[in-house]
Each structure stands twice: as structure tokens, then as C-alpha cells.
Structure 1
């Protein structure tokens, strides 16, 4: 059976316009240079509890620590050669805008609410709380082609450091 890493590496990302928290539409297939895209299931709204049973879903917990990790290492990731960093979830842009502000993220978050990007790459998803959510993974994309896949991401808080280490090893 083909692993996700083997299936995705050197594959061109689909031409899909994804709404970003800054109001722009981002087509990852057209971006030049290195782009880091980390996908996560969802962050919980600050005024409501997580989805019932969330902690029992393997790999679901850790979205906020993953986002904060990328925020903490953002400048280092850029210094190591990435041109852009994006978060990606199936949550809608207005929610993502609030979350980006609340967590102080220095980069934009993209919405794949209709799963067009995920479907175009056959990314792994799961269902919880009546929603289809992305499984946690990170892609390093170069000129629209996937160069590195981090999956599974067992340590969400350490994912950004893993990406940084990989980028530095390629410099």
C-alpha cells in the first residue's frame, strides 16, 4: 500500500482558490518558491467546549499548540528559505480570522470548507461532530509541487520545529 508521503511527494497541487484570513484568494499551485502549508482538523471556539469525544480521536488534539508552534518559529522558517507559511482547515474564514487574531498568528490561514483542495490531493479526512475535518499534516510546496510531506504529525507542538530542521538541512 502506497504511503501518503510517497503518494504526494513531487505531485503538483491542484489549482484551487482558497479564501485567506486577509481577504485574498490564494492558489497554492501558482506561488513561487517554498511554501509551508500545515493542515489541522479545527481549533475550538474560545467560548465552547471541544467536540464530544474529541480527546479520544487519534491525532485530533493539538491544533492550537500546532498553530502557536508555527507562530513561534515563523521568522526562522522564513529565514531557512520558505517564502510563505499558511495554516489550513475546513473551518470558515470568519472563524479563522477570529482565531488568527486571538492566537496572534503572523501568517494567513486558508479555508478549505468545501474540501476542494483536500479532494484534489486525496488528503486524509475524518468525521467528528457532524463535520468532515482534515487530518493533521504539513506540506512543503515548491513552485506548486509538493517536495516534503510530514505525516503523521505525532507532536503537533513540535511540527514547526521539524519543518524548520528539514528546511535548514536543505539549505
Structure 2
């Protein structure tokens, strides 16, 4: 497993080692031991999966403490642009965004620590996204940031005028008004 650090502390791109032959391929998508060997200590307790079609935009979501979540995101089928926003007020990168292309083809994963808002847009015909969480979902702790917050200047790589966005996500506040407790 190869871990690539990003310019935002704690935000990591994880690239598995692919073993392929004439039958196809095999890889470990997660190994607690290998993560520990790399200095990453996480106790994942829940897996989530979504299926979406082209132009879907989900996010930007987070959960406040004590239900804040670390996530390990990967794509099982299709292709997405994965976006995170640093909400850790003491961080040098507070309010900064990071994006990465995750796909079934590149098999990259994004490890998102607690303290980040997360979202993605689907840029293939369809996409199945799976992510591990180290905390259960708690509705009372959820929060979010509006996808088109001008201060974030996020490139979702899709036409936002034609994007498929939930009513909830369309009414989220901008980062300055969000209820983040990080």
C-alpha cells in the first residue's frame, strides 16, 4: 500500500498494490495492520455505499463531535471528483479545499480525517462509491456547507446548472455560517 500526503495535514491518498495476471487482478483495499505500519491508527466501524448517475453532486457534509467521522473513500464502479474542505479552525489550511479523481480504474482512495466537510460529483455515466467510517451516523450531529460557496471556489467538473442535487444540499449554509465545532 502506498500513502501519498497532500498539502493538508492528515489528508492522505491511499493507493493499493495491484496484483494482476490473465485472470484479472487482486488488491487489499484496507488492512488495519498496514495502516498501523504507516502510522495511521483508525478503528473503522461502519461501511456505507452509494450509487449515483452522471451529474449527481453530494455534499458537502460533516458530523460534529462527538460523532465526527474519519472516512476512507473509494469508487467501486465509475468515476468521481472527490472534494474536501478543512474545517479545523486551528489548522493552517482552514477553509482550503482539496480535490482528487477517484475511479474504479485508478483504485485510489482518499483518507479524510475528522474535521473535514466531504462531497463528490459523478463524472461517469454512473458511479458506486464506498466509504469506511470510524463513527456511526448521528443525525443531530450532521452539518454541511453549500456546494457553490463562492469563498471556496470549488470546481466540481460538472455543469452546476444541470447538476442533480438534493434539496437539503441546496439549502446548506456557506462556510462562514456553518455550525462546525472543529
TM over 0.5: no
Q: TM-score, normalised by structure 1?
A: 0.30
Q: TM-score, normalised by structure 2?
A: 0.29
Higher relative contact order (CA 8 A, sep 6+): 1
Pair member with larger Rg: 2
Q: Normalized per residue, which structure has more helix?
A: 1
Q: Normalized per residue, which structure has more strand?
A: 2
